[in-house]
Amino acid sequence: YLLLGRWRKKHLTFRILNLPSRLSSRTARAAVHQAFNYWSNVAPLTFREVQAGWADIRLSFHGRQSPYCSNKFDGPGRVLAHADIPELGSVHFDEDEFWTEGTYQGVNLRIIAAHELGHALGLGHSRYTQALMAPVYAGYRPYFELHPDDVAGIQALYGKKSPETKDEEKEETEVLTVPLVPTEPSPMPNPCSGELDAMMLGPHGKTYAFKGDYVWTVTNSGRGPLFRVSALWEGLPGNLDAAVYSPRTQWIHFFKGDKVWRYINFKMSPGFPKKLNRVEPNLDAALYWPLNQKVFLFKGSGYWQWDELARTDFSRYPKPIKELFTGVPDQLSAAMSWQDGRVYFFKGKEYWRLNWQLRVEKGYPQNIAHNWMHCPLQTPATISSVGDETASVTGTILSTPSAMDSIMD
Amino acid sequence: RALGPAEKKAAVDYLLQYGYLQKSLEGQDDFRPEDIMEALRVFQEASELPVSGQLDDATRAHMKQPRCGLEDPFNQKTLK
């Protein structure tokens, strides 16, 4: 392998500016995403797609003429694509090629994209003709994988992918050696009563409520069916302490006791769960604050501010919650930044909304069950008849594939 | 079969475009035959072709294969 340069960071953004006209956008996007995966699977690199604005790596298709690129393409065949070395980030494909996926016909977009990303990450051409980074396209391979020379090259630039070398995980210790013992699920909770374990504005703008072994979604028009937590996030226990999704990294972190789990969508990241050792165990709540792109962890009357992508100095934490969030109670149940940009805190049956100055707004606290869970307001006469585990709610659980599809969508 | 001037020029252009031949700073367009032979040898070796230094059919066919637009880093030193 030959090394041409390197990025001074390992967490990169990318943007797909346009797609080939003769390949479906879904297939093309999947091919490009898989191309990134080849590299992130063997090196401690992460790639996050952005839909607008600047990105570290920008992928586009252009033909013989392009006002944005001095290296014009030559029509079908011959030159297929080119890319800039770090830290420039341009990756261009010849629009005139017959880009394909899953067939020996045409030119495989996934393999060529992976090759060009190799350049964008700092690799030059390899002299091994079977390597991805060989200059000549070797054709479609159904079971394509990186050549050892490709792996050696990228690891020479960024190191090997292993939990020990991940900067963002320094605050966490080694993988647990004792597997979690599966337990019988707790009774199905009633979303209209009792205290929440956690609330989270998750990927794709979905709001999740956690209680006991169950989770459900909340929308403006109602709430979704209850699912076992482990049915959605395989390997995750119930009775969580806190949950938080970061749009910055796409990571979902779940906290329980002295352990943390990380998922991307519904897939657990390798090496998790891990043990928390720089933040106190048994957290109360967690939220992502988009204004400074930090994760806040709460326990008792204190909070920690955590930068997921940088080494965080926790020596000055925990700090008093009241110093940053005015009017918020201690011993929270849950917290989240919601899609309206506001910060919400939950405790017991009540919740608090903060204004832009991070002060609790007038008129709060309000009732969680009525405003979030779409439950009828309870009169004193009805409260006593609605327990934490009711038969009526038990009857609403859905574990059919169609229901599962809707929540996984 | 004797190669025509267009085929020779296409090969030299390829060797130039992908870094096997370096244009002299003095701006002379013509390369010495021994320079072209050396560039062909490097290209053939890097492409796992029989190394002859000649513009044979296999070499010309390999030059027509679809490829990346970036230069190749190969020379006798890197190949060693």
DSSP characters over A183-202: -PPPPPPPTTSS--SEEEE-
At residue A381, the pLDDT reads: 43
Mean pLDDT check: name the lowest of A115-124, B3-12, B39-48: B3-12
In sequence order, the 6+-apart residues with CB closer than 8 A to the CB of A140 are A100, A103, A104, A108, A111
Question: What is the Cα–Cα distance from A222 to A191, expressed in whole angstroms?
Answer: 11
In sequence order, the 6+-apart residues with CB closer than 8 A to the CB of A94 are A61, A62, A63, A73, A74, A75, A76, A79, A80, A81
At residue A407, the pLDDT reads: 34
Contacts of B68 in chain A (CB under 8 A): 79-82, 112, 115-116, 119, 125, 135-137
Catalytic: which of A95, A97, A101, A116?
A116
What tens digit of pLDDT does each residue of A55-93 get?
Answer: 999 999 999 888 778 788 999 999 999 999 898 899 999
Q: Does position A239 have pLDDT exceeding 70, yes or no?
A: yes
Closest approach of B46 to chain A, Cα-based (Å): 6
At residue A53, the pLDDT reads: 85
Average pLDDT of span A389-398: 29
What tens digit of pLDDT does each residue of A138-180 get?
Answer: 999 988 999 999 999 999 999 998 765 444 443 333 222 233 3
A9 — pLDDT class (breaks 50, 70, 90) = very high
Q: Does position A24 have pLDDT exceeding 70, yes or no?
A: yes
In sequence order, the 6+-apart residues with CB closer than 8 A to the CB of A78 are B64, B66, B67
At residue A118, the pLDDT reads: 97
Q: Clarify whether A172 is annotated catalytic.
A: no
What tens digit of pLDDT does each residue of A32-61 get?
Answer: 999 999 999 999 999 999 998 889 999 999
Mark which residues 136-155 of A lie under 8 Å from B by CB: 136-137
Contact A78 B18 (CB under 8 A): no
For an interface test with A, the pick among B44, B67, B75, B76 (most A C-beta atoms closer than 10 Å) comes out as: B67
Q: Judging by beta carbons within 10 Å of its beta carbon (0-12, 13-18, 19+), is residue A377 exposed, middle or buried?
A: exposed
Contacts of A83 in chain B (CB under 8 A): 70
Average pLDDT of span B50-66: 94
Average pLDDT of span A367-377: 88
Q: Does position B15 have pLDDT exceeding 50, yes or no?
A: yes
Contacts of A73 in chain B (CB under 8 A): 69
Question: What is the Cα–Cα distance from A246 to A252, expressed in whole angstroms?
Answer: 6
Question: What is the Cα–Cα distance from A350 to A340, expressed in whole angstroms?
Answer: 19
A194 — pLDDT class (breaks 50, 70, 90) = confident
The structure tokens 């990303």 sit at A117
C-alpha separations of A184 from A112, A188, A211, A273 in Å: 49, 12, 15, 20
For an interface test with A, the pick among B70, B78, B80 (most A C-beta atoms closer than 10 Å) comes out as: B70
At residue B26, the pLDDT reads: 57
Picking from A291, A290, A297, A226, the residue whose alpha carbon sits closest to that of residue A260 is A297
A29 — pLDDT class (breaks 50, 70, 90) = very high
Average pLDDT of span A249-262: 93
Torsion angle, alpha carbons of A353, A355, A361, A364, to 10: 0
Q: Which two tokens stand for residue A313?
A: 């100095």
Q: Does position A98 have pLDDT exceeding 90, yes or no?
A: yes
Comparing CB atoms, the residue among B18, B68, B78 nearest residue A80 is B68
For an interface test with B, the pick among A1, A61, A119, A127 (most B C-beta atoms closer than 10 Å) comes out as: A127
Dihedral (CA of A14, A15, A20, A25) sign: positive
R_g over Cα of chain A: 25
Contact A80 B69 (CB under 8 A): yes
Helix (H) or strand (E) holding A274: strand A274-276
Q: Does position A181 have pLDDT exceeding 50, yes or no?
A: no
At residue A163, the pLDDT reads: 64
